[in-house]
């Protein structure tokens, strides 16, 4: 791979050199306008694609029509990838894709394809890998130029108009005059894309906890002890990072690390990253102090953060964390829930053409809304230099001393008034499509909230979400669709869809004791084994074997803003292996962690969900098996205690699950605490059983 990387870098240098030497100081000539009332996106229902339907650029959706046109006319593919709530995607659209001069150049030399990265994450992965190999980093909007067969040879992110015109002109010249060199570079790059994420089966060696301990030690060298999180900007919430750190600190009794997790969660939720008025988190903070967010709100962030704060409440008993969970769920119900119990994907950062305008306040607006209560607002919020942002506007952040009072009638009254007034403003755009994977994350969030707080409404909404997925996102062959939009289910499910649905179903079984959900998790896992596995790796491909081939079939292994689909699948295999006593699943889970483990020490935060699995393997994992006619009584006590490495299985009758084999089901209830297939003698009270759990 190193020699391949060197070849790519060398060819990249040659290509950039060719572009530079062919640069012309002359401006791009004006071509005949090709503006159309609509382009080829008009039959799509992706909110992001429809945002571009009236561009003068002759956009096509990804598909046979566009690819065949490129092959037939021997034109370069210009593949532009983004999503509906992406601020810089909007900026580039306004500056470039709505511009007649730019569109004329794009239409003359390229077949232009628009891709919604949330709709087609597989395409995004391929071309993001290309840009990262070429540039060292990536982002959105993602713009890649490829040969007619899809192999890329140039890419980048945001380009202003003049730079974009210059790049397009140079690419056209290089493609016409240096075709053989372009093809050679594209071939090398395609090989690199195929190899960069592959995880090969490793020789068997003994695992040890130094993999995890060492990674955490290195990680702690780069934390922010004042504001929480990493000591850099921008700062992303990364829920799976803090789920792992909290579990690790709990298991190892690391008080300093627990303090860091608690500080980080409190800072993220009390500063500008969190919507103090309406609930919910923005995608990330642009600065190191969690003040100025990138104002878009994503379902996947909020679902995972609700789970995180629910679990953190059990550990820290911080009432502010409870407030964050309940207020964020109110936001989800108010703004991101559909009539069928489905959840929408995102809210835009912009409204009225300005980023954050919906969420910020001037002092005059606050005074007019609150009147005499303005003085109280100053006690709660930074309405001074600390809270000042741009153009005399404020981002509302809680003063540290007021956090304990957020549940008071005074604070609730203030936020209700401000929320009502804010509701009169033009709203940010809503991406109304429902993604199976993100809906499953939100289903799990409701389950985690129910476990921590015992609210029946949370369980009811989790059940409604699961029923929606089962009814609308499932196929007749036990597979899944990826998207539900305008009553239509479409696109074969990706590995992320299966992994998060399986995870949600396992968790739903734990709180409902309904065999329906665990059997569905079992069936989906069997489907994954037959459609996503390969003999060449312990990991699973992101695409199903049924999908049309792209230039590369990727494996997603690094945990990011969402845990990698393979790390979630490995944890699913572990838990289902316990419940069904399925040795092949347990062995595959262990093999997956083993094969990824050598990557962990150098970059722990990118493997945090993997390290949760590693803790189960290296530090111990428990099952609490409850059998008896009264097995369901008193379980709220179990759920409200922080036991992150314990799986629950319950039955009040002779049951089918292998985990219940040889268990006594009678008028009395017995509690079995087990680890690694070995159980202690049963006890007759939940309290006694909990005392045996770490």
Domain assignment present for residue 110? The answer is yes
Domain assignment present for residue 543? The answer is no
Question: Within the chain, which residues score under 70 in pLDDT?
Answer: 1-36, 204-205, 629, 634, 654-655, 662-666
CB 145 within 8 A of CB 130: no
Domain assignment present for residue 590? The answer is no
The residue range of the domain holding 13 is 2-195
CB 247 within 8 A of CB 645: yes
Return the pLDDT at 202. Answer: 81
- Three-state SS at 343: strand
The answer to whether residues 425 and 437 belong to one domain is: no
- Three-state SS at 281: strand
Q: Which tokens hold the place of 43?
A: 């039959």
Domain assignment present for residue 538? The answer is no
Order of strands, edge to edge, in the sheet holding 434-435? 434-435, 481-485, 488-492
Alpha carbons 349 and 355: distance in angstroms, whole number: 5
The answer to whether residues 185 and 313 belong to one domain is: no
How far is residue 47 CA from its own chain's centroid? 19
End residue of a domain, out of 512, 537, 556: 512
The answer to whether residues 418 and 437 belong to one domain is: no
Q: How many CB atoms lie within 10 A of CB 406?
A: 20
The answer to whether residues 321 and 464 belong to one domain is: no
Q: Which tokens hold the place of 145?
A: 């130029």
The answer to whether residues 141 and 276 belong to one domain is: no
* Number of folded domains that form the chain: 4
Return the pLDDT at 27. Answer: 32
Return the pLDDT at 540. Answer: 97
The answer to whether residues 295 and 363 belong to one domain is: yes
Q: Taken in order 215, 220, 222, 227, is the CA torsion positive or negative? A: positive
Domain assignment present for residue 287? The answer is yes
What are the beta bridge partners of residue 671? 626, 683
CB 313 within 8 A of CB 296: no
The answer to whether residues 72 and 88 belong to one domain is: yes
pLDDT tens for 283-313 read 999 999 999 999 999 999 999 999 999 999 9
CB 504 within 8 A of CB 468: no
The answer to whether residues 392 and 437 belong to one domain is: no
Domain assignment present for residue 570? The answer is no
Alpha carbons 592 and 201: distance in angstroms, whole number: 8
Domain assignment present for residue 567? The answer is no
CATH assignment of the domain containing 96: 3.40.30.10
The answer to whether residues 323 and 390 belong to one domain is: yes
pTM, to two decimals: 0.92
pLDDT tens for 171-221 read 999 999 999 999 999 999 999 998 887 888 887 667 788 999 999 999 999
Alpha carbons 305 and 240: distance in angstroms, whole number: 9
pLDDT tens for 585-598 read 999 999 999 999 98
End residue of a domain, out of 363, 398, 431: 431
Domain assignment present for residue 411? The answer is yes
The answer to whether residues 266 and 295 belong to one domain is: yes
Return phi, psi of residue 537, to 5°: -150, 155
271 burial via Cβ count (<10 Å: 0-12, 13-18, 19+)? buried
pLDDT tens for 463-498 read 999 999 999 999 999 999 999 998 999 999 999 999
The answer to whether residues 407 and 457 belong to one domain is: no
pLDDT tens for 344-367 read 999 999 999 899 999 999 999 999
First to last CA, the chain: 43
The answer to whether residues 416 and 495 belong to one domain is: no
End residue of a domain, out of 407, 431, 455: 431
Which residue carries 């969190």 as its tokens? 274
């Amino acid at each position: 791979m190193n020699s391949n990387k060197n070849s790519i870098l060398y060819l990249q240098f040659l290509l950039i050199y060719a572009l530079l030497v062919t640069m012309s100081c002359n401006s791009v000539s004006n071509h005949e306008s090709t503006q159309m009332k609509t382009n080829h996106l008009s039959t799509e229902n992706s909110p992001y694609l429809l945002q571009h339907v009236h561009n003068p650029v002759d956009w096509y959706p990804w598909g046979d029509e566009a690819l065949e046109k490129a092959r037939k006319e021997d034109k370069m593919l210009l593949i532009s990838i983004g999503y509906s709530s992406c601020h810089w995607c909007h900026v580039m659209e306004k500056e470039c894709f709505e511009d007649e001069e730019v569109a004329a150049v794009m239409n003359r030399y390229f077949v232009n394809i628009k891709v919604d990265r949330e709709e087609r994450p597989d395409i995004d992965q391929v071309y993001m890998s290309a840009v990262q190999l070429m540039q060292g980093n990536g982002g959105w909007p993602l713009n890649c130029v490829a040969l007619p067969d899809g192999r890329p040879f140039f890419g980048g992110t945001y380009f202003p108009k003049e730079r974009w015109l210059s790049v397009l002109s140079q690419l056209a010249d290089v493609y016409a005059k240096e075709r053989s060199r372009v093809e050679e570079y594209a071939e090398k790059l395609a090989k690199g894309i195929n190899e960069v994420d592959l995880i090969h089966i490793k020789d068997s060696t003994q695992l040890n906890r130094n993999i995890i301990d060492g990674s955490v030690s290195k990680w702690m060298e780069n934390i922010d002890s004042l504001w929480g999180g990493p000591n850099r900007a921008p700062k992303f919430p990364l829920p799976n990072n803090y789920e792992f750190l909290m579990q690790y600190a709990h298991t190892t009794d690391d008080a300093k690390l627990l303090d860091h997790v608690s500080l980080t969660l409190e800072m993220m939720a009390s500063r500008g990253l969190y919507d103090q008025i309406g609930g919910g988190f923005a995608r990330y903070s642009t600065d190191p102090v969690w003040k100025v967010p990138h104002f878009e709100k994503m379902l996947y962030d909020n679902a995972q953060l609700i789970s995180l704060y629910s679990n953190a409440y059990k550990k820290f008993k911080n009432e502010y964390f409870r407030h964050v969970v309940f207020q964020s769920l109110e936001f989800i119900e108010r703004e991101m829930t559909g009539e069928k119990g489905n959840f929408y994907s995102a809210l835009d950062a912009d409204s009225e053409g300005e980023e954050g305008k919906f969420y910020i306040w001037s002092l005059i607006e606050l005074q007019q809304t609150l009147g005499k209560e303005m003085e109280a607002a100053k006690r709660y919020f930074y309405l001074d230099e600390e809270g000042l942002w741009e153009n005399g506007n404020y981002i509302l952040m809680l003063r540290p001393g007021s956090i304990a009072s957020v549940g008071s009638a005074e604070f609730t009254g203030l936020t209700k008034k401000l929320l009502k007034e804010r509701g009169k403003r033009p709203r940010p755009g809503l991406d109304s499509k429902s993604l199976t994977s993100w809906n499953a994350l939100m289903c799990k969030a409701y389950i985690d909230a129910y476990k921590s707080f015992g609210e029946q409404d949370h369980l009811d909404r989790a059940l409604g979400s699961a029923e929606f997925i089962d009814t609308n996102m499932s196929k007749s062959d036990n597979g899944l669709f990826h998207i539900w939009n305008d009553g239509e289910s479409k696109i074969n499910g990706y590995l992320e869809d299966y992994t998060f649905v399986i995870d949600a179903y396992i968790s739903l079984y734990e709180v409902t004791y309904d065999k329906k959900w665990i059997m569905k998790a079992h069936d989906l896992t069997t489907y994954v084994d037959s459609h996503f596995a390969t003999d060449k790796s312990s990991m699973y491909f992101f695409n199903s074997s049924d999908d049309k081939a792209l230039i590369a079939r990727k494996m997603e292994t690094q945990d990011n803003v969402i845990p990698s689909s393979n790390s979630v699948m490995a944890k699913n295999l572990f838990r289902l292996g316990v419940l069904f006593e399925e040795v092949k699943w347990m062995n595959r889970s262990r093999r997956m962690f083993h094969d990824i483990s050598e990557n962990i020490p150098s970059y722990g935060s990118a493997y945090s969900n993997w390290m949760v699995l590693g803790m189960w393997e290296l530090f111990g994992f428990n099952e609490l098996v409850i059998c008896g006619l009264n097995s369901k009584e008193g379980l709220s006590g179990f759920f409200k205690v922080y036991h992150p490495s314990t799986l629950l299985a319950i039955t009040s009758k002779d049951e089918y699950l292998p985990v219940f084999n040889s268990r006594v089901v009678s008028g009395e209830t017995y509690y079995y605490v087990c680890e690694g297939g070995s159980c202690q003698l049963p006890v007759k009270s939940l309290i006694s059983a909990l005392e045996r759990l770490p």
